[in-house]
Amino acid sequence: MLILSKTAGVFSRSPKRNVYGFLRSFSVCPGTLFPHKLVLGIETSCDDTAAAVVDEAGHVLGEAMHSQTEVHLKTGGIVPPVAQQLHRENIQRIVEETLSASSISLCDLSAIATTIKPGLALSLGVGLSFSLQLVNQFKKPFIPIHHMEAHALTIRLTNKVEFPFLVLLISGGHCLLALVRGVSDFLLLGKSLDIAPGDMLDKVARRLSLIKHPECSTMSGGKAIEHLAKQGNRFHFTINPPMQNAKNCDFSFTGLQHVTDKLIKHKEKEEGVEQGQILSSAADIAAAVQHTTACHLAKRTHRAILFCKQKKLLPPTNAVLVVSGGVASNLYIRRALEIVANETQCTLLCPPPRLCTDNGIMIAWNGIERLRAGLGILHDVEGIRYEPKCPLGVDISKEVAEAAIKVPQLKIQFDL
Ligand code: KG4
Ligand code: ZN
């Protein structure tokens, strides 16, 4: 790889020539300057090249990120070789900037934590091989990270949350409900049977040509839908939520996408608008699809809470529901989940939006969690591979379906 042979010279020099930098330049790795554990986290599973240094108390010493969103918006979706090339071009700079912002050198680290699963193979490969070069060169322990585990544990960086808690992870690549019993102890209650909600919203936004909308041109599809939905009336169109008769905690979004596609086609005909132009009813369609998405997510989450309480997996009151992943930054969806949380006497917690989307902090924090728990810390990285597909935890979704819990009807209605 192009960048890796240059790392020795760059990283062994401290960016700030202070006394610590001077001392460090004498020794390979003194290891005593920072009494706290420090972990460098590296994330390249999809389209963000991100890194951060976090200490064991959860302080973020520094972070940096390069987003590929703009490039992929232009190509109408992520093209894996393009994502790979952009990761390659940016990873060294992003790690350098992170270390510089943290005022530390690689020698000060307790470990390097990197997303190795699941994700785009070509993207994961860049982060992994870059990290392994650093690990080998600086003789640091390596902590392989599951991307969804990192999303799930982020809340413990921002809030005091004890195990167990329920987590709903909703992003462009994933959609799952899991009970988090420990740092790497998950029970999978349900997942999307097809695409993820972020993927569906991205596709609807593309079909609505929102990239041409002056207010949405630089936004991700999901964000553009949320933005436009505020100007629309969700009652103008009715889109039924999927899987209404399936009493499980699984999700489906492909049908919702096709129904919305059909609606758009119908409106284009009616308004005499060509595909690729913006419909006058785009905001109403965005509001309707966002509402149906929120209802679907709320219903499955409601069932998951009732299941966990019935099986005594969660406490009867004050249980915690965490929502994270890129789609969790959607305030309409959060409000719908708040209604569910109130109904079931749960506390709803969401990381701040910048920690809901992919970032290096969550990877570094997952590294700290694993370091503290003594889980999955590798001193020998021989044979380590990335895994594009990897389930999270023990799958008990069949048991959930067998329980066939009926969920009371909730009115998802509020003003934002
Ligand atoms: O977690 P994330 O950054 O990356 C992964 O997919 O892992 O999530 C990105 C997804 C995209 O599909 C994007 O459209 C969606 O999150 N998203 C949103 C919002 N902001 C980002 N979806 C709905 N509302 C938003 N405000
Ligand atoms: Zn993610």
In terms of pLDDT, which residue wins out, 181 or 78?
Answer: 181
Distance CA 132, CA 134 (A): 5
Asked if pLDDT for residue 83 goes beyond 80, the answer is yes
How many whole angstroms separate alpha carbon 131 and alpha carbon 144? 10
Contacts of 111 (CB under 8 A, 6+ apart): 37, 39, 40, 140, 141, 142, 143, 367, 371, 377
What confidence score (pLDDT) does residue 34 get? Answer: 67
Q: What are phi and psi of 25, to 5 degrees?
A: -65, -15
Strand order in the sheet with 142-146: 60-67, 48-55, 38-43, 111-117, 142-146
369 alpha carbon to ligand 1 midpoint, in Å? Answer: 25
Please give the distance, rounded to the nearest whole angstrom, from the Cα atom of residue 326 to the centre of ligand 1. Answer: 3
Q: Which sign, positive or negative, has the C-alpha torsion 83, 88, 94, 99?
A: positive
pLDDT tens digits for range 340-381 = 999 999 999 999 989 998 999 999 999 999 999 999 999 999
pLDDT tens digits, 13-49: 333 333 333 234 333 565 446 668 999 999 999 989 9
Cα–Cα distance between 199 and 196 in angstroms, integer?
5
Residues 355 and 48: their CA atoms lie apart, in Å, by 13
Among 58-67, 72-81, 157-166, the least confident range: 72-81
Look at ligand 1, atom 20, and give the residue with the nearest C-alpha.
Answer: 223
> Counting atoms of ligand 1 from 1, which one is nearest the CA of 201?
14
**How much is the average pLDDT of 249-265?**
97
| CA pair distance 47, 65, nearest whole angstrom | 11
pLDDT at 6: 33
Closest protein CA for atom 23 of ligand 1 = 222
The pLDDT value recorded for residue 13 is 34
CA distances from 39 to 22, 88, 100, 128 (A): 22, 22, 14, 16
Q: How far apart are CA 77 and CA 79, in angstroms?
A: 6
303 Cβ neighbours under 8 A, 6+ residues apart:
247, 248, 249, 400, 405, 407
Quote the pLDDT of residue 25.
35
- pLDDT of 5 strictly over 90: no
Q: Among 394, 405, 395, which Cα is nearest to 246's?
A: 405
Q: What one-character DSSP code corresponds to residue 173?
A: S
The reported pLDDT for the residue numbered 4 is: 34
Q: What is the mean pLDDT of the chain?
A: 91
Rounded alpha-carbon distances, angstroms, from residue 401 to 194, 301, 379: 17, 13, 41
Pairing between strand 60-67 and 142-146? unpaired
Q: How many of the other CB atoms lie within 10 Å of CB of 227?
A: 17
Share of the chain above pLDDT 90, in %: 82
Atom of ligand 1 nearest to the CA of 197: 12
pLDDT in tens, 306-319: 999 999 999 998 99
The alpha carbon of 272 and the centre of ligand 2 are apart by a number of angstroms equal to 39
Nearest alpha carbon, ligand 1 atom 6 = 172
Span from the CA of 210 to the centroid of ligand 1 (angstroms): 15
CA 35 / ligand 2 centre spacing (Å):
31
Q: Indicate the SS3 state at residue 286.
A: helix
Residue 140: what pLDDT? 97
Q: What is the pLDDT of residue 107?
A: 95
pLDDT surpasses 90 at 267: yes
Among 138-147, 199-208, 209-218, name the one with the lowest average pLDDT. 209-218
Q: What is the pLDDT of residues 137-163, one digit of tens each?
A: 999 999 999 999 999 999 999 999 999
Closest atom of ligand 1 to CA, residue 220: 14
Q: What is the model's pTM? A: 0.89
pLDDT of residue 338: 97
**Residue 166, burial from CB neighbour count under 10 angstroms (0-12, 13-18, 19+):** buried
Mean pLDDT to the nearest integer, 208-217: 93
pLDDT, tens digit (0-9, with 9 covering 90-100), for 108-129: 999 999 999 999 999 999 999 9
Task: Identify which of 58, 141, 49 has the alpha carbon closest to the alpha carbon of residue 92.
Answer: 49
129 or 6: which leads in pLDDT: 129
Ligand 1 shell residues, CB under 6 Å: 46, 171-173, 198-199, 201-202, 220-223, 226, 325-327, 329-330, 357-358
Residue 1 pLDDT > 70, yes or no?
Answer: no
93, 11 contact by CB (below 8 A): no
pLDDT of residue 353: 87
